[in-house]
Structure 1
Amino acid sequence: MGDHSHGSPNDPGTVAKAGPGTLEAFQDPGLPPHRKRLADVDPRAAKRAERQVALLFVISIIGTLSFFIAYFGLGRSESIAEIRTQNMMLGLGTAFAMLGIGVGIVHWARALMPDHEIAESRHEIRPEKDRADAESMIGEIIEETGIKRRPLIRNTLIGAIALAPIPAIFMFRDLDRTGATAGSIVERLRHTMWDTGMKLTRDPSGTPIKASDVQLGSAFHVIPEGLMDTEDPLNEKAKAVVLLMRLDPEKMTISPGREDWHYNGIVAYSKICTHVGCPVALYEQQTHHLLCPCHQSTFDLTQECKVIFGPAGHALPQLPITVDSEGFLVARSDFQEPVGPSYWERG
C-alpha cells in the first residue's frame, strides 16, 4: 500500500489548489512606476533633443537638395566616371532624404513625446459620444507631440516632407525624354515598330528567318528587321521582341479571327511578360509552356499563350505573321493589343 498521508485515491495531492480566500491575495499589480527621461526633467536636455530632431530633418532636406544637384548638374556628361558619381549622389541623396525624416521622427517620439503607459476599459459604443471622444483624442495627440510649441521641429519637418517626394516625380517623368504629354506616352507604348511585310529576324544577328528554318519544338528569339538602325534600338527592342515557335496545328486552339495569324503552326508571341515586363525566355518543348523566370508566370502556347499559372494578368499578345514570296517569315501587322504589363492603359 502506498503512502496517502498527503493525498487520497481521488486526490493524490501532487498539485496545489487555491483554497477559499486565496484569489483575493493576488491583486492586479497595475502599471510599473513611470521613469522620467532626462528631457522630462531638464529643460536644457529637452531643448537639445529638439535641436537634434530638427538637425535630422535638415539632413533630409540636404539629401533632397543633393539629389537635385546630382540630377541636374551631372546629368549632361557621357563619361562613365561622371555617370557613376551621379548615380552615387542620387542614391546617397535619396537615402539621406528618407533616413533623415524616419530617424528624426523616431528620435522625436523617444525623446520628447509623452511615454507614459495608460490602460483604458472598454465601453459601450455610442456614435455621437465616440465622435466627440475621437476629436478629443486627436487634440490630445497633437498636443502631446508638442508640434505647436516646438516651431523649430514643425518647420523643418514641413520642409523635409514637402521636398522628399519631388525626386520621385522627376525620376518617373524622366522615363520619357521627349517632352510628350502623358496621353501621347501611353499611345506610344500601345504600338511597336512591327508593320505589314516587315521580316522576322534572329536576335541579335538580324538574320531573316525562313519558314523552313523553324522546326517542330524549336524556338527563336526574334526582332524586327532594321531594328538596330533605328535612333533608339534598345527602347524599340524592349517593346517589339518576340518568341517564334512551331507547333503541330492539330494541337492549337485558334480563336475566331486569328485563323491566318500563324503559318503552318509557326506562331509569334510577345516576349514581354504581362505581369511586370520581365523577358519570357523559357520554353518547355514537351508541354508547350512558356515560363517567365521572374515570378513563374506560365503561358500555354497551345491556347494562344493563355495564363495557366502565376501572377500575370492576361495572355501574351500574338504577332500576326505569314511568309513572303521568298519564303521568309514576315509580320502581317503590328500587335493588335498593347504589349507589356497589365498596369499599362489598355484598349
Structure 2
Amino acid sequence: MLYGPPFFRYPFAHKQGDQLRYAHRAASSCYRTKLGYRFGRGNPLLRLAGLGLVGFLGFKALHRFYWGKPASFSQDGMTAFPSYLSGVRMKLISTKSITPDVKMLKFELPKNYESSGLKPGSAVLASIKHSKTGKLLMRPYSPIYTPGDQHHLVFAIKMLNSQGASGAMHTLLPGDMVKFRGPKPGRSVDLSTISSVNLIAGGSGITPLYSVLNYLMTEKPDSRVNLIFANKSMDDIIFKKELDALHEQYSNRFLVTYVVDRENTPATPSTVVGRINPDLLEKTIWKDSDIFVCGPDGMVSALRKQMNLDSFTDRKVVVF
C-alpha cells in the first residue's frame, strides 16, 4: 500500500481520467440547466451574493479538509500548535554547525503554548524574510523529534541556495523571529503500527527519518529499524555521531549502512562506497519490513524504478 503526497498516491488511469472529466462536464451542465435560469436573469446583486456565499462555504470546507482544525486548547488554557493557515512566530535561541553546510537551529515556543503537538516525521512551513534580498521566502522543514521536549522546534537545515530559504535560515542569529505554520498535510504517519521498517535516506532527507528512528527506539522497545543513508562523503553525514551512538545503544534493534560516493573512503562493515543500486538494496533491505524514503527527487525516482515501490501491497511504503 502506498502512502505519501497525493500525486504519488493516486495515479489515475486514462479511463478513470475520462470518467472524471465526463463527471465534471455533467455537473457543469446540470448547474447551467437548473441554476442558470434562476440566477442568470435575476437580480445581479442577488447573483453576486450567491456567488460570494458559495465562495465562502468553499473556503471553509477547504480550510477544514486541507489545513486542519484551528489551534486546540487544553484544560489550563494553553494552546497546542496552530493550524497550517494561522501560524505562530517563534524565537531562535541557539545555532550550531554540524557539518560544513548544515546548521542546527533551535526555536522556542511562545509561553502560552503547551507543546508543539507535532508527530515524528511531520513538517512545518517556515516563512522568513531574507536579510539581504528582502524577499519573503517559504519552505517546509521537518523538526527533529527529541524525546521529552515538546517546547522547542529543532531543525537541521542544509545550505542549498544562499539566495533561498536555506540561505536566509543560515543567516539567522539568536533572538530572531520566524513564523511557522503546520503541521503540513500528508507528512506524518501512524508509527504505533510500525514494528519493523527500512529507512532509506539521502543527504538532508535524513531529517524526518531520524525523528522516526528516535521515536521508535525510545517509545517502541519491540521495533526494529534498518537505515540505509546515502551521502557524498563521510563529512557530509548529518547526525553521524548520534546515529553511531544509537547503533551502539540499540545494536540488536538498529542497523545502519552508510553509502558514500567518494572513492577514497575506506570500506567498513557499516560503510559502502558507491551509490544506492539494485545490488546493494538486495543485500541490505529487510524483505518483510515497511519502507520509508526521503531524499532528493532523483534518488526517490530511481528507487521507484529499482524497487518498483508502487507494486507493494503487503507492506507500507511512505515517501516523505
Alignment TM class, shorter chain as reference: under 0.3
TM normalised by structure 2 equals 0.23
* Higher RCO (C-alpha under 8 Å, 6+ residues apart): 2
Give the structure with the larger helix fraction: 1
Greater radius of gyration (CA): 1
Structure with higher strand content: 2
